[in-house]
Chain A
């Protein structure tokens, strides 16, 4: 009897999986893009007559791995990314038979440094953030272990509070962007760092301190938000959509004198913003129904336009000309060029 049950179950599974081709789009990737991709997926499912795509939030790196695992039907059709695909990932894709990929920039996202409303106000520069976060900093011409314990140690104008930074862990695309947009520009220019070779310089600039003042958040931004609220002196790195939805609980620090508002990020006045992407596996277009229509929905003005529903979710809309060119890329499925 037991054996029969088992055999029946396995047989059922084999029949069920083998009998039908997939008729539902599968999307994986960045947790930053997830709120936008799911909004489009839902709208697409309601209006197009196709099944609603399944969207997994795996992080950009994890998503790329799944996406590049192969070209067969069991692999995802689209990957969302909060940073550009890397050369190594393109190579890995090609090695597994995923040669033709279309890249679409969907808009921008501001990386926001924030703390609880009840805490002190911060006006920071990139350099100050780097000094608060790095494991080693340059002092008197030498690389030394980070000596700063309070913000006021870095600059007397900053609050006399212990440095406690909550930053997304390296599995998040946001961390890559944080390193690239804040740590590197503030650090790489220093003569002591320039003296190092390229890899060593990057490591020196991007290695976070390990003395407890810098805390990796491996989970999602809600955890960062909770930490900021329960510890008003702590400072968290989050994205604009979270600031936008929780403006009554947290306040954003200015960076280099700029407030992270929608307008400032859209006009690139605010210095820490990055593009968001999705990538389409071209060999699946036609094999899996609805991919073209999904791209059309995402790149329509009612979705990613100035008054579209994605702007309402916190997406920073890209300029008119770029939206036009990206939509054209989506329509013709232009190949990615690195």
Chain B
């Protein structure tokens, strides 16, 4: 310390020329370069993490977008489907289509007849969804009853995972040696193929991985988000306008401001508990409903929207207000005609960021019962539903191996939704941006 102050006092004046100055200049250039390098390294590290995350999710999830199908010679046996010959919708709908598939398998592999174990082995290669496929075909066109055709039917998830290489080609895959041998035969004969996995986008949740889909979760997320935006946007903007344009600066508004800022940082599970207490226990709204989910997410996103809307309003230059009032506009007219439209791009950006957070929230939904097994696709916002992040969580927790790739696929769908929302935010900002 003393040494330092001594050296400093030894050079009381700092010149701008000479060897010393040149040295200092070089040091400053070096510092400048280092400073920029730090920034670049930070960006590179962030990008690296993002790349690793995306790569691992895509590597795991890509295979979930295809599904293996098996070609089987199905006979639409009139005796099995509709023994009365009535061709009534209810009879066709309740028929036992599994029998048709089992018969088709026996036709394909005549050697399994009479061997119960071998039959069961082979039956495990075909998904339960195959029955639904056949039912759909018969209901669409009852004339096919009595005919035979080669039909591509979905394979079971165990067979699918072996063929995709996600499961080992041995008994740990859940298929017996006999079943695996038959699977190899089918593959060699060219009666297996991979198709786009439409179930993933048209079905609700299921315990059969090959039948599990996201549409229930997507609809649930949509309802929740629609309710969130319908409530939190008007409430948030109204609160921000009042606080920014009308409220006088005093102890009360300070207190409110501090509280709003605090609320923005409160963990979302707390809002879930609040929603449980108010909406379920006091108001008696239904459990697991996207309506309540939307209300809970409104609580989560309101502080963010209020804060970002206030910042956007503050950024509107004061002379706009003065000019408006100078020309005789009332304060309401000033806000509605001038300040709010100019602040709108910023408010929208903030709102969409709040919505992007809301779509990814699962903690508040846990408390109100939206983390549940829901098969039926919700028709209204009061029907039980899940949401996308919840579906990711539920699939990740499932023991079946085929849910591993589906979990990653669900994450990709969620990421795609987020990307669309953020792109919209950027578009809106660019489109409505004003310069002064």
Contact = CB atoms under 8 A, between A and B. Distances in A.
A166 interface: no
Interface stretch (B137-145, B230-238, B307-315): B230-238
Contacts of B235: 2, 6
A38 B234 contact: no
Interface stretch (A136-144, A173-181, A244-252): A244-252
Interface stretch (A54-62, A82-90, A118-126): A54-62
Given A54-B288, A55-B372, A245 B230 contact: no
A51 interface: yes
Contact of B372 (A42, A56, A220, A222): A56
Contacts of A241: 399
Contact of B376 (A51, A246, A247): A51
Contacts of B382: 13, 16-17
Interface stretch (B46-54, B71-79, B168-176, B343-351): B168-176
26 contacts: A5-B230, A5-B231, A6-B231, A13-B283, A14-B283, A16-B382, A17-B283, A24-B384, A26-B288, A31-B397, A34-B373, A35-B399, A38-B207, A41-B373, A42-B373, A52-B376, A54-B373, A55-B372, A57-B394, A74-B284, A222-B398, A222-B399, A241-B399, A242-B399, A245-B399, A247-B172
Contacts of A289: none
A248 B167 contact: yes
Nearest to B120: A307
A242 B172 CA distance: 12
Interface of A: 1-2, 5-6, 9, 13-14, 16-18, 22, 24, 26, 31, 34-35, 37-39, 41-42, 45, 51-52, 54-57, 74, 219-222, 241-242, 244-248, 307, 313-314
A26 B400 contact: no
Contacts of A222: 396-399
Contact of B397 (A221, A245, A246): A221
Contacts of A242: 399
A38 to B, nearest CB: 4
B234 A13 contact: no
B302 to A, nearest CB: 12
Interface residues of B, number: 43
List 9 A-B pairs, minimum CB-CB distance, nearest first: A248-B172, A247-B172, A52-B375, A55-B373, A220-B397, A56-B372, A38-B373, A2-B234, A16-B382
A312 to B, nearest CB: 8
B401 A42 contact: no
Interface in B388-404: 394, 396-401
Counting chain B CB atoms within 10 Å of each CB, the highest count among A1, A31, A54, A56 belongs to A54
Contacts of A39: 207
B206 A9 contact: no
Nearest to B385: A54
B285 A17 contact: yes
Contacts of B284: 17-18, 74
B234 A1 contact: yes
A234 B235 CA distance: 52
